[in-house]
Structure 1
Amino acid sequence: MASESLIKALAETLEDLSLSYFRLFCSKLLREDLLRNRQSTVSALMADRDFTGITDLLVSTFTEDGALSVAVKILRQINCNFLAHSLVMAAGGQSFMPGFSGITLPEAHHECSISKQHPVDSWKDYLIHDVSDVEPMLDELLTKGVIEQESFDKISALPTSEDKMRELLDGHLKTVGDKDIFYNIIKKWLPKITDQGPRMILQSAVVDRHMSHMPFAPAIKIGRTIRVNLLTSEISSVGEWIKAEPEVNCGCRGCSNLQEKVSFRYQFGSWEEHMERLETMHYIPAGPLLDITVIAGKLDQAYLPHWICTEDNPTILGKFAVLHIDACGDVVEPVSEVTPSHVKLSQPIFSPRGVLMRAGFRVKINCKVLIYKTNKAFLTLHVYLIPRDPGLQQTIKNKELSSGYKIIQKPYPEKSLKMRERYILTADMDHAEIYPEKLKLIYEGGDPNFFEVFIENPDSHFQLTLRHESETVWTCAIRKDDYNDTGDIQVIYDKELARLRPKLVEKVSNVLIKQLLDDLLEDGVLNDGEKDSILQESCTSADRARCLIDMVRKKGREASRKIFTRLQSRDPTLSAELGLPSGLLV
């Protein structure tokens, strides 16, 4: 095949992709070894939708035959099988239609899989008359960028399923790529929506028999899988990497021989900077934002955690998606499977990712209740109601600990709670004050609201109860030991400072030391002469830290308490790492 013809065929194939799938194609292209260092080039071509430029890059990097092979491989990875088939046919290769022969329709022979007409066009009449539930398909088409919100609203407003399908097929699947995506949706939904006998059924045995003789047919992979557990993942700060070497196993029963060690690291991130874009795309976060990097080995599947309750409303399974963030921009991708706690990604590209849920649907979520005791004169609690997001939880923890507040650990709600509903918190003490009166359960990425509980001089245990309308959804007991310091806690401060002296000498910086000196001067712990002597007589940060710690220890327990308090305020992350006493009065 001549170069000009190949370039034309490749460019036309890429042009048939929707914008989101073109971005996904470019993103996977960057995973090819020879293009890993061409990120800026690929990103610029993707931003300009320069199909010829991407094609030229493929040919110049991989040669003509290699460019065709890479393009077909990536098209198959993103489930654009008909486009891959058409490209091979245009290149003069043998016909293949993986999966297309797996659907049996009346009067629709398997030869349709090698005709130039797309199966969606061949089966138009059957789709119009036999499909009774079009809405789930529309949801996925909107998720994948095939149709816009305006088209979605127009089709959804039509009175019958026949009218909806006819409108969709006649005016909204504009390219071969759009039809290819729709075909993959049909394959998933047909077993669920046919209730009129064997007119439309998936026959996997037929697929397997035909696929084994086809070029480019997928191999059966023994895939390695990771599953990030939302309930047990603990982090000390947002953005900190956690290394893991999980137990992995293949997808085949009875297989226990692992030839390749797999290790990876991950970190939780914040949704805050992405919330505005998600709103314009009509999505809400449905799980934590995760950045995963594979260190050794290869993973063919990944399970990302979500906090949506799927048991009460199985229809929402089609509303899930995953946001993929990389140099090529944000791409919303479909999921291949949804479990009660995770969504499955096959052949994942690892970059910042998070589970999404289509906005506009009432869902229940799994929540946490976080309680912090302030250091105010009278008992004041901050009570947060949030999704089970470790990143958001750590953001709250950093904010509260930086003010010297103390966490009160209590069990989380066992029941899933309705999003966008208002909840009431009460305390069984007559003189307790709680504001606001009601709190709406929504996802707030940066500065979530909370209940403030104020009780002047409590002298007994009391109970907090969370209610939705008349139903109790969570309750806990706050005991005197939770809010009173037992004994004279000051007796530990000077000893604790001595115990932590080696770590403090190692970890505190010159900048932090100067800040602490200013703080302790303001508190009256040090005078100007003492501050200057530490700065002038010691050159290194370690020497200054030793002088400062020893000088404060000699001044007694109260002085030791104050340096702890100031350190918590200046560097809550270091304070948490060292395990400093929390809840100290300024």
Structure 2
Amino acid sequence: MEGGGDVVYRTNITTSLQDPCLTSMAHVTDEGIEFIRPQKITETHVVLNITGFSGYGNVKDEDSPPDPVRALVLLFYRPPEDPDPESLINVLLLPKNVSLWDVQRTRKKLVGHEWYIETSPHCKLQPNQVYTLSTCPNNDLVEVQPTEAEFDEDSYDNYFPSFQVNWETTLKHLKLILKDTDSSLVVWERRVCLMSTGKRKSCGPNTANAPPNERLLNIRSCFIDGISEPVLKNLLDKLLETKVMTDSERESVDGMDNRRDKARFVIDTVRKKGEAAGSEMIEFLCEVDPFLCGHLGLM
């Protein structure tokens, strides 16, 4: 394509040369390649003065592997239920941009009750690459199915597990190791804390049939002690979106430095607003942290 008049290009090519006499640029045209001197070089740009347009772009070998993407390894635990002694962890490999809220809500509809295990989920995975999950202890008592799975960053809407880990004995801790199958490089490794008995005991009396306000009052101390800062923020977002809490109340919470004070303010504020508000808080809490709700006896 021909251009009329002078055209000044600025390109952010990194160079340590500040003398235009020592640098040449390739100008690609239909007739061939012309090497021209830059008009000006700065610390961040090379300025050219040319009379046509240059075809250029980023190129990559079509056989080269895709770049790694930021991903999440999410764990959902299903404890044993009498008389079945089997415990199960569903391991999901997902891209980082998924919402944990959506994952929990969808899986609750699909499989019912399970507890999200809060651990650092971040890693980098290559699309369409096969990964291997192993455990420690690595013996016949702990089974991983399948042992290998491909990371698909595009097809994940149903949030099916990539791996399932099951065992029929009592474990307090379990280490999970995710490796690149081809290179054996460890891309994610965590030590997961499990319940010593395989079941979580409820905090306080069973008040499933009590009014929501009474249920919140009964679990008040355990809620204040047990809720984490990220879960509390998610809960606050839900309460604000549904107008259970007001903007000024949210600002009051944000102005507090102590997590326990924040939790105390939230549960007491909602409790005083009636049964409908209390019921919504219980529902939201069960969605954002089923593990804690099981401990509190709310599920």
TM-score normalized by the length of structure 2: 0.50
Which residue of 1 is the match for residue 117 of structure 2?
408
Q: Is the 8 A contact 2:129 2:151 kept in 1?
A: yes
Higher Rg of the two aligned structures: 1
**Distance (Å, rounded) in 1 between the aligned partners of 2:63 and 2:214:** 52
Change over 3 Å in CA distance of 1:453–1:200 after alignment to 2 = farther
Partner of 2:33: 129
User: CA 1:388–1:578 in 2, change beyond 3 Å: closer, same or farther?
Assistant: closer
Separation in 2, partners of 1:423, 1:578? 28
Pick closer, same or farther for the CA change 1:370–1:389 going to 2, 3 Å.
same
Whether 1:455 and 2:175 are equivalent positions in the alignment is no
The equivalent of 2:188 in structure 1 is 474
Identity %: 12
Structure with more strand by fraction = 2
Aligned length: 200
1:197–1:493 Cα change, 3 Å: farther
Matches within 5 A, 1:98-497: 100-102=6-8, 123-125=29-31, 128-130=32-34, 198=37, 204=47, 318=58, 362-377=66-81, 378-391=86-99, 393-402=100-109, 403-414=112-123, 416-429=124-137, 430=139, 431-443=141-153, 444-450=155-161, 451-469=163-181, 470-481=184-195, 484-489=198-203, 491=205, 493=207, 497=212
Query: What are the equivalent positions in structure 2 for 1:42-81 lying under 5 Å apart?
Result: none
Paired AA for residue 365 in structure 1: V
Q: Secondary structure at the match of 1:396?
A: helix
**Structure 1 residues 467 and 374: CA distance shift in structure 2, 3 A:** same
Shift of 1:427: 1.6
Aligned CA distance change for structure 1 residues 400 and 573 (closer, same or farther; 3 Å): farther
TM-score normalised by length of structure 1:
0.28
Secondary structure (helix, strand or coil) at the match of 1:498 reads: helix
Deviations 1:441-488 (CA, angstroms, capped at 9, x unpaired): 112241243211111122332211111132222111122348844544
* Partner SS, residue 74 of structure 2: strand
Which digits, 9 at most, give the CA deviation of each residue in 1:269-326, with x for residues without a partner?
xxxxxxxxxxxxxxxxxxxxxxxxxxxxxxxxxxxxxxxxxxxxxxxx948xxxxxxx
- Write out per-residue CA displacement over residues 507-526 of structure 1, whole angstroms, 9 at most, x where no aligned residue: 8xxxxxxxxxxxxxxxxxxx
Which residue in the other structure is 1:294 paired with? none
SS in structure 2 of the partner of residue 411 of structure 1: coil
Deviation at 1:362, TM superposition (A): 1.7
Query: What RMSD over aligned residues (CA atoms) do the two structures have, in Å?
Result: 4.9
Q: Which has the higher helix share?
A: 1
- Which amino acid is the alignment partner of residue 152 of structure 2? I
Q: Which residue of 2 aligns with 1:177?
A: none
Kindly state the Cα deviation for residue 439 of structure 1 after the two structures are TM-superposed: 0.9
What is the letter of the counterpart of residue 466 of structure 1?
A: L
* Residues 433, 454 of structure 1: 8 Å contact kept: yes
Q: Which amino acid aligns with 1:397?
A: Q
Distance change >3 Å, CA 199–CA 477, structure 1 → 2: closer
The Cα offsets for residues 336-386 of structure 1, whole Å up to 9 and x where unpaired, read as xxxxxxxxxxxxxxxxxxxxxx99952211211100112553211111111
Query: For the Cα contact (< 8 Å) 1:381–1:453, is it kept in 2?
Result: yes
Structure-2 separation of matches of 1:456 and 1:411: 26
CA distance in 1, matches of 2:39, 2:130: 45
Q: What is the rounded CA distance, in whole Å, between the counterparts of 1:445 and 1:573 in structure 2?
A: 24
Identify if the C-alpha distance between structure 1 residues 422 and 361 changes in structure 2 by more than 3 Å, giving closer, same or farther: closer
- Check the 8 A contact 2:76/2:114 in 1, yes or no: yes
Partners in 2 of 1:449 and 1:206 — Cα distance?
Answer: 56
> Helix, strand or coil for the counterpart of 1:404?
coil
Partners in 2 of 1:578 and 1:480 — Cα distance?
Answer: 16
CA distance in 2, matches of 1:501, 1:459: 31
> Could you tell me which residue of structure 1 aligns to residue 231 of structure 2?
none
1:15 is matched with none
CA distance in 1, matches of 2:128, 2:69: 11
Residue type matched to 2:212 in 1?
A: L
Cα pair 1:423 1:466 within 8 Å, conserved: yes
Gaps of 5+ in 2: 11-27, 51-56, 218-238, 243-273
Runs of 4+ in 1 over 6 A off after TM superposition: 199-203, 577-580, 583-586
* Distance in 2 (alpha carbons) for counterparts of 1:500 and 1:585: 8
**Which structure would you say has the larger RCO, counting Cα contacts within 8 Å and 6 or more residues apart?**
2
Q: Any idea what SS the aligned residue of 2:190 has?
A: strand
The 3-state SS of whatever aligns with 1:395 is: helix
State whether residues 372 and 400 of structure 1, in contact with CA within 8 Å, keep that contact through their aligned partners in structure 2: no
Deviation track 1:204-234 (CA, whole Å, cap 9, x = no partner) reads 4869xxxxxxxxxxxxxxxxxxxxxxxxxxx
Query: Post-superposition shift, 1:493?
Result: 4.2
Q: Any conservation in 1 of the 2:134–2:176 contact (CA below 8 Å)?
A: yes
8 Å CA contact 2:146, 2:164 repeated in 1: yes
Consecutive unaligned residues of structure 1, counting only runs of 5 or more, are 1-81, 83-95, 105-121, 131-195, 208-316, 320-357, 508-544, 550-563
Residue equivalent to 1:498 = 213
CA distance change for structure 1 residues 447 and 124 in 2, over 3 Å: closer, same or farther? same
Instruction: Please say if 1:581 is aligned against 2:260.
Output: no
Tell me how far apart the structure 1 counterparts of residues 69 and 211 of structure 2 sit (CA, whole Å): 41
